Amino acid sequence: MIPFLDLQAQYASIKTDVQDAVNRVFETGQFVLGDEVAAFESEFARYVSADHGIAVNTGTSALHLALLAAGIGPGDEVITVPFTFVATVAAIGYTGASTVFVDIDPQSLTMDVAQLEAAITPRTKAIVPVHLYGQPADMDPLLAIARRHGIIVIEDACQAHGAEYNGRRVGSMGDLGCFSFYPGKNLGACGEGGIVVTSNPKYARTVRMLRDWGSEKKYHHVLRGYNYRMEGLQGAILRVKLRHLDAWTDGRRSRAVEYDRCLRDADVTTPREMPYARHVYHIYAVRTPERAELQRTLQSRGVQTGIHYPIPVHLQEAYRDLGYAAGDFPHTERAANEVLSLPMFPELTNNQVEFVAAAVHHDVHAL
Ligand SMILES: Cc1ncc(COP(=O)(O)O)c(C=O)c1O
């Protein structure tokens, strides 16, 4: 059996340090925010080359607060892609703004920046590029367009911890960047977690207030805020894990190289690392029009796979009121029908990669 993800293997490699971190929190009693969370905020901000980090309870909350701090609200339009996890669009909806979609580029599976300008209207306030699967969106042309129109850029880096665009870390290029620490992410908490990073002190201050009931001083509520605070245990554990992130990313990248090599002659399309990108392979997704058959074959050989994501957001029932229909975003719709995520985690061995690849070859030949 080859799992899609193996969190136990990761825990085994850092068990003592995690247990020490947990003990520290119990001994200080700082279960919500506190010193460990504050230290994690500065360490993670430094990691992505941003001046400020504000830790929150989920990546979704990070997006929600980044949008609010940027002044997004009812009557505004926010541009993003329909090929993303639903949370990107949900967070835009929480502010009262409406979502405008731009299709993806079929190579990178991130926003097709060539189509961006046509989607901008006088109501467009923000663009949310999604660094899907761990590959950065094409940020330079996107930032140039945003600057020209005076539009704020909020990076959805929830899948892309440590990814780089022409040598710059994701999260630090836009006005604000948002990360998720859901357990299966490249940097995952032992529960839920997220962070907003920014180098704008005004945005940082607003996000910091909004995550804690709109206050800087206890019981003095300047803004109408939320309870989006990070737990002390998550901060302490994330500090331990952050020290391993680069090694884990190297592990993912070498497994991706091995998959690429083993699948070169297979009848599936392997992911493309764009010339500007240092992809961190949160997800390694191959593409085939025969996806259902391939997934069944892999399952029968004990290989777990996933589909990220089978239904684009513009075709989800919950978002019907955005007014889109099938056929509106052909590259997104085709990708949603074809992608299949193979097992990918740093502890995966080359033998396991070869086993998965052999099963893919077998399926293709059996068709
Ligand atoms: C692209 C993207 N955006 C947003 C989120 C939301 O993060 P969370 O699950 O921590 O709320 C996720 C992760 O689940 C994601 O993959």
359 alpha carbon – ligand 1 mean position (Å)? 30
Instruction: State the first-to-last Cα distance of the chain, in angstroms, to the nearest integer.
Output: 23
The share of the chain scoring above pLDDT 70, in percent, equals 99
Test site for ligand 1: of 180, 181, 196, 228, most ligand atoms within 8 A of the Cβ = 180
Q: How many angstroms from the chain centroid is the CA of residue 40?
A: 19
E strand map for the chain: 52-56, 77-80, 98-101, 124-127, 152-156, 164-165, 168-169, 176-180, 194-198, 215-217, 220-221, 277-278, 284-287, 339-342
Q: Whose CA is nearest to atom 7 of ligand 1?
A: 59
Looking at the CA of residue 84, tell me the nearest atom of ligand 1: 1
Ligand 1 close to Cβ of residue 84 (< 6 A): yes
> CB of 87 within 8 A of CB of 314?
no
Ligand 1 close to Cβ of residue 85 (< 6 A): yes
Q: What is the pLDDT of residues 53-62, one digit of tens each?
A: 999 999 999 9
Q: What is the pLDDT of residues 4-26, one digit of tens each?
A: 999 999 999 999 999 999 999 99
Ligand 1 close to Cβ of residue 234 (< 6 A): no
Q: What is the pLDDT of residues 103-120, one digit of tens each?
A: 999 999 999 999 999 999
Strand order of the sheet with strand 52-56? 52-56, 194-198, 176-180, 152-156, 124-127, 77-80, 98-101
- Entry pTM: 0.97
296 alpha carbon – ligand 1 mean position (Å)? 27
Q: What is the pLDDT of residues 29-71, one digit of tens each?
A: 999 999 999 999 999 999 999 999 999 999 999 999 999 999 9
94 alpha carbon – ligand 1 mean position (Å)? 15
Q: How far apart are CA 80 and CA 68, in angstroms?
A: 16
DSSP states along 134-159:
G----HHHHHHHHHHHT-EEEEE-TT
CA neighbor of 322 nearest in space, from 314, 333, 332, 312? 314
CA neighbor of 230 nearest in space, from 87, 42, 38? 38
What's the mean per-residue pLDDT of the chain? 97
185 alpha carbon – ligand 1 mean position (Å)? 9
Test site for ligand 1: of 60, 179, 190, 195, most ligand atoms within 8 A of the Cβ = 60
Other Cβ atoms closer than 10 A to 40: 26
The share of the chain scoring above pLDDT 90, in percent, equals 98
> CB of 341 within 8 A of CB of 6?
no
133 alpha carbon – ligand 1 mean position (Å)? 11
Q: Whose CA is nearest to atom 8 of ligand 1?
A: 59
43 alpha carbon – ligand 1 mean position (Å)? 21
Beta bridge partners of 237: none
178 alpha carbon – ligand 1 mean position (Å)? 9
- Give the pLDDT band of residue 364 (cuts 50, 70, 90): low
Q: What is the pLDDT of residues 300-341, one digit of tens each?
A: 999 999 999 999 999 999 999 999 999 999 999 999 999 999
User: What are the two backbone dihedrals, phi and then psi, of residue 237, each rounded to the nearest 5 degrees?
Assistant: -70, -40
Ligand 1 close to Cβ of residue 87 (< 6 A): yes
DSSP states along 200-236:
-HHHHHHHHHHTBTTEEETTEESS---B-BPBHHHHH
Q: How far apart are CA 38 and CA 212, in angstroms?
A: 14
279 alpha carbon – ligand 1 mean position (Å)? 18
Q: How far apart are CA 93 and CA 99, in angstroms?
A: 7
Ligand 1 close to Cβ of residue 57 (< 6 A): no
Does 367 score more than 50 pLDDT?
A: no
Q: How far apart are CA 240 and CA 51, in angstroms?
A: 21
Ligand 1 close to Cβ of residue 332 (< 6 A): no
Q: How far apart are CA 232 and CA 51, in angstroms?
A: 21
